A and B are shown apart, each in its own frame.
Chain A
Amino acid sequence: MSSPLRAVLSRLVKSVAVVLAIVLLNFLLIRLAPGDPASVMAGQAGAADQQFMDQLREQFGLDKSIYEQAWIYLKGIAQGDLGFSYRQNTAVWQLIAERLPATLLLTVSAFIFALIAGVVMGAIAAMNAGRSLDFIISVVSLVFYATPLFWIGLMSILLFSVYLGWLPAFGMMTVGAGYTGWDHVLDVARHLVLPATTLGLFYMAVYARMTRASMLEVRDMDFVRTARAKGLKSGPIVRRHILRNAILPIITLAGIQAGQLVGGAILTETVFGWPGIGRLAFDALLQRDYQVLLGVFLITSVMVVIFNIITDLIYRVVDPRMGASA
C-alpha cells in the first residue's frame, strides 16, 4: 500500500472514532440545557395541558432514560439513520439534504474568495513591506479581522441593498420570478455576493496577515538569498520560492477553518435569510429539536474531518518533503 493511501486510511479510522465521540458528547451536552421540545411547543402554542405534554414526550421518546435514548440514537446512526424531527415532521437527513447545498455554496464561495484575496493581499503587502501599500492592506485586514461579522452584513445590506439598490438584501433567489437555466444561476449569484463576501472578509483578513508574516519570514532565508545570487528574476523568486514555502502554514490554517466556516455561516445565514444548515442548527437549538441538531453536528464533524484529510493531501503535493518523510 502506498504511503499516502496508508496515511489517509489511518486518518479515516481515527476520524470515525473522533466523530463517534463528538456525537455522544453532543448528545449528552444538549440534554444538559433546560427545557425540551415539548416545553418549547407548549410555549409557542401559548396553551398546554398535562395530556398534551405527556403525548409529546412519549412521541419524542423523552419518557425513556437518557441511556436508552443514547443507545437508540447510536444504533440509528450505525444504520445510517439520522433520526426524525417530530417537530418538523420530517426525516433529519431530508432536512439536512435540503439545506446542505445552500451552505456549501455559501461557504465554498466565501472560502475561495477569502483564500485568493487574502493570499494576494498578503503577498502584495509583504513585497511592499514598510511602504504605504503595505500599511493600507494591513489596516484593511485589521478592520475586517476586528469587525463582527453580523455588523458587516447589516452595513453591507444598508449600503448595497437599501441605498444603492444593487443587490438583493436577503434570500437565495428571487421568489416567484420563475427564472430557469442561466437566468436562475445569475439570480442566485446576485443573491450570493453579499453573504459570501461578508462571511469571507474575516478569513480574508486572517490569510492576508498570515501570508504577509510568513512571506517576510521566508524572504530572509538562505535559499532565497541563493536564488537571488543565482540571478533569478524577482517574479519567479516570489512565486516559486517565497510564496510556495510561505503558503504551508496558510494551508494548515485554511484546512482547519474550512470546517469552522460552517459554524460562522450561522450568523451570515441569519442576517441574509440564507436557507442553509447553519440556520437549521440555530433554530433546532432554540427549539430543542435534538435530532436535527445532532444530525447537523454529525455532518459538520464529518466535513471537518474530510477537510483535514484534503488538507493533508494538498500539503503533500505542495511540500514534497512531507511525502518523503512519511
Chain B
Amino acid sequence: MNDLTMNRRTVLLAGSASLLAGLMPQMTLAQSNNAARMNVIAFPEPPTLFIGLDQNGSTQTVSGKIYESLLSYDFDFTPKPGLAESWDVSEDGLTYTFHLVKTAKWHDGEPFTADDVVFTTKEFLMEVHPRARGIFQNCETIEAVDEHTVRFTLKQPFAPFLMGFEMSTAPMIPAHLYRGTDFRTNPNNNKPIGTGPFKLAEWNRGSYIRLEKNPDYHGEGEPHLDEIIFQILPDAGARAVAIEQGQVQQAQFFDIEMFDIQRLSELGNIQLITKGYEFYAPVARIEFNTRVEPFNDKRFRQAICHALDKQLFADAIFFGLGKPATGPISNRTRFYDADVKPYDYDLEKAAALLDEMGLKPDANGVRRTVKFLRLPWGETWARFAELVQQQLALIGIKVEIEPADPASWTSKYANWEFEMTSNYPYQFGDPALGVSRFFVSSNIRKGVAYSNCTGYENPEVDALFEKGATATSDADRQAAYSAAQKILVEDVPMAWLVEVDFPTLLDKGYEDVVVSAIGVNETYRKARKA
C-alpha cells in the first residue's frame, strides 16, 4: 500500500512538474551556444537529401547547401564561378572547357577532381536525371584534360549548354563513392557527401534537418553561418506562426499561403524578397487537352483566353505577387518577346467565338460543361480553379472542378485523362531547357508528366524550337523564339495567366542570402548574420 502511495505521489509530482514546465515562458532558441544559426522552413520534408536522385523543391533547398555544381548564375543568368573558377567556349560553340577550383574537397576529405565531373555528367546523370540527360546527350565527348580541367565537346551547337550547370541540374557526385555501383541503392544516398559549404549533421525525420558548417570549404572564409536548421512544418498555419514569432527566419516558395504574405512582410522584422526565382520563372497557366472536344477547336480555347481576367488572377489569387502573362515564355526567361500581343479581357469576343462554333446557351445560359482537374499543391490552386469556374460561367461555360491528390493529378495529367488543368512548371532560364518540352511534337509521351501533355502538334513550331536551341547567335535564337511565341499565342494550347513572383520571407537580421537566380536553393556560402 505504501508503495502504491509512493507511486501515486511520484506520478503526481512528475505530472505537476511537467505542467509547470509547460506554463513557464518559452525559453529562447539556441541558448546553449552563440552559433550563427539560421532556421528555415522545409516543406514538404525532403524524401532524401541526395539531390542526384531527387529534385523535389524542398530537396533542392536543403541539398543546395551540401552539393554544388560547376557554375552559379547571376539574376540575369550571367554565369558565376562555382566548382569551376573559369571556363572557355570555342568560337564554333562546340567546345566548353572548365577550369576547376583546385582546393575543393568532398565532405569525406577526398579531393574533388576532373574525374568527378566526367563521372557525374557522362555516367551518373545520364542514367538517372531526365533533365540533365536532355543537356548532356548533346555531348560527343566529355574528357578530363588534366586533374583540374574538363572539356565537353558537343555533337552540334546547343546554345543553352552553359545554363546546364546549375546545382539541381548537374550536381557533382563523388566518383569514388558511386562509380561501379547501383546508383539508386548506393548506401551513401542516405549520407550525402558533397563539396558544399554545409554538411549534414543530423536528420530527425519528421522534425528537423541540421546542417553544420564545412570547415574545409574551398571558399576562403566561407561559409559565415555555423548552422542551418530546416524545420519540418506540415501545417500552413503553423508555418505562418513560426515566421511571425521568429522561430524560423526564412520561408520560401509557397511555404506561406499567398494571402498571408503581405501581413507577415509588414511585421517590421521580416523582409519580402521576390528576387532569386529567375531561374524558375513559372507562368501560372491552364493547359487544354487539345485531343478532346471542344478543346480541339482553337476558337474554344481562344474564347477561354478572352474570358479570363489575368489582372484579377494576379490580384485575387496571387495577391499582387505576379503580373499578367503574355505568352509561354516568362519575361524573366531569356528570349521573351514583349511584342507578342496577349489576349485582352473581352467577354463579347469570347461569346462571339463560341457563337461561331455553334455553341448556343441553353435555358440555363449554359453553352457547354467542361471539367477542370484541380492542381493539388495547396490552397492557392484551389482558389485558382474556383476563379476559373466563376469567370467562365460568365460566357456560359460551366466548369466542374475535379479534385485530386498529388499522385492522382500527376497520373491523370500524364495519361491525358483531363480536359483542362492548371500548372506552373519552371522554365530554367532558357526556352530550350524549360519551355520547348511542352510544345514540340517529339515530346508527346503518354504516361510521362511534364511532357507535351496537351497534345499540341505544329511542325512549324517544332522547327522554330529546334532552331532556337541550335542557333549560335543570340539574334538568331531570339528570331526563332519570337516566331514560336507568336504562333503559340495564336494557337493557345494553353492559357497563360500570371507570371508568378515566388516570395521569400526573410528575417532582416540576415544578409547576402538571396544572391543568385536560384535564390534560396543556393549554397548560402555568403549568407551571414547582419
Report which A residues bind B (CB closer than 8 A).
33-37, 39-53, 55, 59, 86-90, 95, 98-99, 102, 154, 157-158, 161-162, 165-179, 185-186, 189-190, 192-193, 270-276, 279-280, 282-283, 285-288
Contact = CB atoms under 8 A, between A and B. Distances in A.
Contacts of A271: 235, 237-238
B29 A193 contact: no
Given A36-B411, A43-B409, A89-B189, A49 B45 contact: no
A193 B18 CA distance: 9
Contact of A49 (B56, B184, B237, B448): B448
A36 B407 contact: yes
A286 B406 contact: yes
B22 to A, nearest CB: 4
A274 to B, nearest CB: 8
A313 B249 CA distance: 51
20 contacts: A33-B408, A35-B408, A39-B414, A45-B55, A49-B133, A50-B448, A86-B184, A88-B205, A89-B47, A165-B245, A169-B241, A169-B247, A171-B231, A175-B39, A176-B227, A189-B18, A271-B238, A273-B233, A273-B234, A282-B234
Contact of B407 (A53, A168, A287): A287
3 smallest beta-carbon distances between A and B, as pairs = A35-B407, A275-B206, A43-B410
A161 B241 contact: yes
Interface of B: 17-19, 21-27, 29-33, 35, 37, 39, 44-45, 47-48, 50, 54-57, 127-131, 133-134, 184, 189-190, 204-208, 210, 227, 229, 231-235, 237-238, 241-242, 244-245, 247, 404-414, 425-426, 437, 445, 447-451
A276 to B, nearest CB: 7
B47 A177 contact: no
A266 to B, nearest CB: 10
A174 B29 contact: yes
A34 B412 contact: yes
A42 B25 contact: no
Contact of B238 (A41, A42, A99, A272): A272
B29 A161 contact: no
A44 B21 contact: no
Contacts of B227: 176
Contacts of A90: 190
Given A165-B26, A167-B26, A177-B27, A42 B407 contact: no
A47 B130 contact: yes
A43 B413 CA distance: 10
A162 B245 CA distance: 7
Given A166-B25, A192-B18, 19 more contacts: A35-B408, A35-B409, A35-B411, A39-B411, A43-B406, A48-B451, A52-B129, A90-B190, A170-B233, A170-B247, A189-B22, A190-B22, A193-B19, A271-B237, A271-B238, A272-B235, A273-B207, A275-B204, A275-B205
A47 B18 contact: no
Contacts of B133: 49, 51
B450 A273 contact: no
A39 B244 contact: no
Contacts of A47: 55, 130-131, 437, 450
Contacts of A165: 25-26, 245
Nearest to B202: A175
Nearest to A116: B15
Among B31, B204, B234, B245, the most chain A Cβ lie within 10 Å of the Cβ of: B234
A113 to B, nearest CB: 10
Contact of A283 (B44, B130, B131, B190): B44
Contact of B235 (A86, A185, A192, A270): A270
Contacts of A272: 235, 238
A220 B122 CA distance: 84
A86 B185 CA distance: 8
A33 B407 CA distance: 8
A287 B207 contact: no
B136 to A, nearest CB: 13
A34 B449 contact: no
A176 B407 contact: no
A39 B29 contact: no
A44 B32 contact: no
Given A39-B410, A49-B445, A273-B238, A176 B229 contact: yes
Contact of B232 (A102, A189, A273): A273
Contacts of B448: 42, 48-50, 53
A46 B445 CA distance: 15
A111 to B, nearest CB: 14
A36 B450 CA distance: 16
A259 B408 CA distance: 29
A169 B128 CA distance: 40
A43 B29 CA distance: 36
Contact of A44 (B37, B238, B404, B406): B406
